[in-house]
């Protein structure tokens, strides 16, 4: 297994201690969870750079890397919903968008087409990661609400953009 794939697996494995720290409510749980979240997020940036630079792109990486990202982000957002820091409907929007875009990619793949991550998807990912980091810190309620709004708006925008740019993939439906 190459280094990028090992980093992807590490990101998945880090989800368990991330959640354990929060649920077991150890001292400074939010800060420890934040450190684990940041470490896991950095493995995402690192594995992508290494894979592209060294031409180590694999089928496993294509499958597991986006899955690991979704698992990590969903785990953090589930925690925020559980503690009342994020409304459940906001997380639902994120999850529905991910399923919808993944489904669109599968349909496109059946037609021999690959849908690469678009600019708005990258903005959504970056802003979501920044907002999650902020939400683990003691921030004012208004900033927390702004973070949730940024996550929701960028999620909806990028989802709509994916479907608008690739609507021809669904033309026979």
pLDDT at 91 (0 to 100): 98
34-48, 51-65, 75-89, 132-146, range with the lowest pLDDT: 51-65
pLDDT at 18 (0 to 100): 98
Q: Which string of DSSP letters, residue by residue, matches 107-125?
A: HHHHTT---PPPHHHHHHH
* Spatial CA neighbour of 43 closest among 12, 74, 70, 16: 12
Is pLDDT at 172 greater than 80 in this prediction?
A: no
The distance from CA 144 to its chain's CA centroid, rounded to whole angstroms, is 18
Question: Is the Cβ–Cβ distance between 29 and 22 less than 8 Å?
Answer: yes
pLDDT at 48 (0 to 100): 84
Average pLDDT over residues 111-128: 89
Which residues, 6+ apart, have CB-to-CB distance to 148 below 8 Å?
A: 86, 87, 90, 131
Distance (Å) of CA 34 to CA 55, 69, 135, 163: 31, 15, 9, 33
* Spatial CA neighbour of 115 closest among 69, 68, 167: 167
pLDDT tens across 97-107, in order? 999 999 999 99
The distance from CA 133 to its chain's CA centroid, rounded to whole angstroms, is 13
Percent of the chain scored above 70 by pLDDT? 99
Question: Is the Cβ–Cβ distance between 131 and 117 less than 8 Å?
Answer: no
pLDDT at 173 (0 to 100): 62
d(CA 159, CA 100): 8
Tokens 């973070």: give the residue: 147
The helix, strand and coil proportions of the chain, stated in percent and rounded to the nearest 5, come to: 80, 0, 20
Average pLDDT over residues 102-126: 89
Two tokens at 44? 């995402």
pLDDT at 107 (0 to 100): 93
pLDDT tens across 66-85, in order? 899 999 999 999 999 999 99
């Amino acid at each position: 297994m190459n280094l990028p794939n090992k980093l992807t697996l590490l990101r998945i494995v880090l989800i368990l201690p991330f959640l354990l720290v929060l649920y077991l409510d150890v001292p400074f749980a939010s800060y420890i969870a934040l450190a684990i979240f940041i470490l896991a997020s950095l493995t995402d940036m690192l594995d992508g750079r290494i894979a592209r630079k060294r031409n180590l792109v694999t089928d496993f990486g294509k499958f597991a890397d986006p899955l690991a990202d979704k698992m990590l982000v969903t785990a953090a957002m589930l925690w925020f919903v559980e503690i009342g820091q994020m409304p459940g409907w906001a997380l639902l929007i994120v999850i529905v968008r991910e399923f919808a875009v993944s489904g669109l990619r599968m349909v496109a793949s059946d037609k021999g087409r690959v849908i690469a991550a678009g600019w708005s998807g990258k903005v959504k990912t970056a802003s979501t990661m920044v907002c999650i980091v902020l939400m683990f810190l003691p921030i004012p309620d208004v900033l927390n609400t702004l973070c949730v709004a940024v996550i929701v708006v960028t999620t909806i925008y990028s989802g709509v953009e994916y479907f608008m740019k690739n609507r021809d993939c669904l033309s026979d439906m």
